[in-house]
A and B are shown apart, each in its own frame.
Chain A
Amino acid sequence: MIPSDPEALDALAAEHVLGTLDAREAAEVNRALPVDAALREAVARWEARLAPLAGLAPPAAPPDDLWKRIEASVAKRAPAQVVPLRAVASGAAPARPDRLWKTWSIGATAVAAGLAAILFLRPADPPRMMTVLLTSRDQPAWLVEAEGGGLRLASLNPRPVEAGRAQQLWALPPGATAPTSLGLIPESGQARVAPGIVRPEPGMLIEITLEPPGGSPTGRPTGPILFIGRLAPATGT
């Protein structure tokens, strides 16, 4: 349990930074950090307070081959960010995700349209398509723009991904019965979907779901929808 009492919360943050929490407590803090702003603040202040102590560890030369290993791991992760995970066979839509999308997108579309008007006052030529992905509480989270036959995403409110989970991007073109995976969202808050995976068109639903590391094992959304929006022309009516 993450305490709500400010003093207890601060004590927990202090021991997290000091490193004295046991594995279970540390995992609990790591799970809470992305969603608990007060805890994040307290941890950041303790990191700043104790940071000079890291200078007490004598420097040491790392193994020569370590960079190669790091480079390989980073390269392996990078392409997964914008490359499609796997083809999704078309067929009957699974009942659950379909129903969710319909009920959720009604209110969200109106809010997104309002935000679109605010964000895109500049005239665009040719007409652009965009949407703002909203949380379940209609908070704007991602700006999605069609660009050069692909999509460009920018986080409006970067937040860390829940530890041990991945965020997967999906598109559902109008009339389609199953969403297409567009790949995993990188932690950097910026992402690009290469042209050719889907053809952006007005009315296309875009959503991000929470999935196991490496993405949905079934090729369809399996976790909760975190953010959703509907692509619409950014100018004109």
Chain B
Amino acid sequence: MTLDAAGMIRGVADGEAGALRRLYDAQAPRLFGVAMAILRDRDAAADALHDAVVKIAARAAQFDPARGEAGAWLAAIVRHAALDLARARGRETPTDDPALGDTAVAPEALDRLLETQEADRLRECLNALESRNRQGILLAFVHGLSHAQIAARLDLPLGTVKAWIRRGLARLKGCLA
């Protein structure tokens, strides 16, 4: 029995008995955390993780370890399930303040990133961005905030936020290349 995520996903694809349960047990706290950071509501986050795991079960055969890391593949499915729910809940209105309070990931939190080569590079490149630019990217990726919500939170015009994020992503790409 393999304990790494890639091996467990392969087990799910092969229809191995109990493989999905083992994958869930090993990954659920991390993945539920990803959904919670975006939805900030246990019921909604549970719905998102439910939808995501059903998708993971159906798509396990499509996972290709040569094209990406297993944990990242799982987290991406959960993130997009949570983002779909956030969109359905009407996050585009800036008045729907996500009230992140102190729970928002602070830019210093970048230090908590895993000590992998990829994470090191990403941290360096994010740190090279202007602070509000970096914060906008973190608020969007980690907390699922829309352009309008980021604008409200950073007290910037919507158009400025859109342009900054676009430029920030382009710089990030250049830096990571």
How many whole Å from A32's CB to the nearest CB in chain B?
Answer: 14
A56 engages B118 (CB within 8 Å): no
Does A10 lie at the interface of the complex (its beta carbon under 8 Å from any beta carbon of B)? yes
Within the complex, the shortest CB–CB distance from A35 to chain B, in Å, comes to: 15
Please give the number of chain B residues whose Cβ is less than 8 angstroms from any Cβ of chain A in the complex. 66
Picked from B32, B45, B58, B67, the residue with its CB within 8 Å of the CB of A186 is B58
Q: How far is the CB of A129 from chain B (nearest CB, A)?
A: 25
Chain B residues with Cβ under 8 A from A160's Cβ?
59, 62
User: Which residues of A are at the interface with B, using a C-beta cutoff of 8 A?
Assistant: 10-11, 14-15, 17-20, 22-23, 26, 44, 47-63, 66-67, 69-71, 73-74, 77, 158, 160, 186-190
Interface of A is mostly: helix
CA distance A66 to B112 in the complex (A): 28
Given contacts A20-B165, A49-B173, A190-B61, contact A61 B50 (CB under 8 A): no
- With contacts A19-B83, A74-B57 known, is A56 near B176, CB below 8 A? no
State A74–B110 Cα separation when bound (angstroms).
Answer: 36
Chain B positions within 8 Å of A73 at CB level: 50, 54
Contacts A54-B79, A74-B54 known; A188 to B60 CB distance under 8 Å? Answer: yes
> What chain A residues lie within 8 Å of B87 (beta carbons)?
22-23, 26
On whether A47 and B33 interact (CB within 8 A), knowing A23-B92, A52-B114, A52-B122, the answer reads: no
Given A19-B141, A20-B165, check contact A61 B29 (CB 8 Å): yes
Q: Are B166 and A11 in contact (CB under 8 A)?
A: yes
Does B32 lie within 8 Å of A58, measured CB to CB? no
Measured in the bound complex, the distance between the Cα atoms of B172 and A200 in whole Å is 56
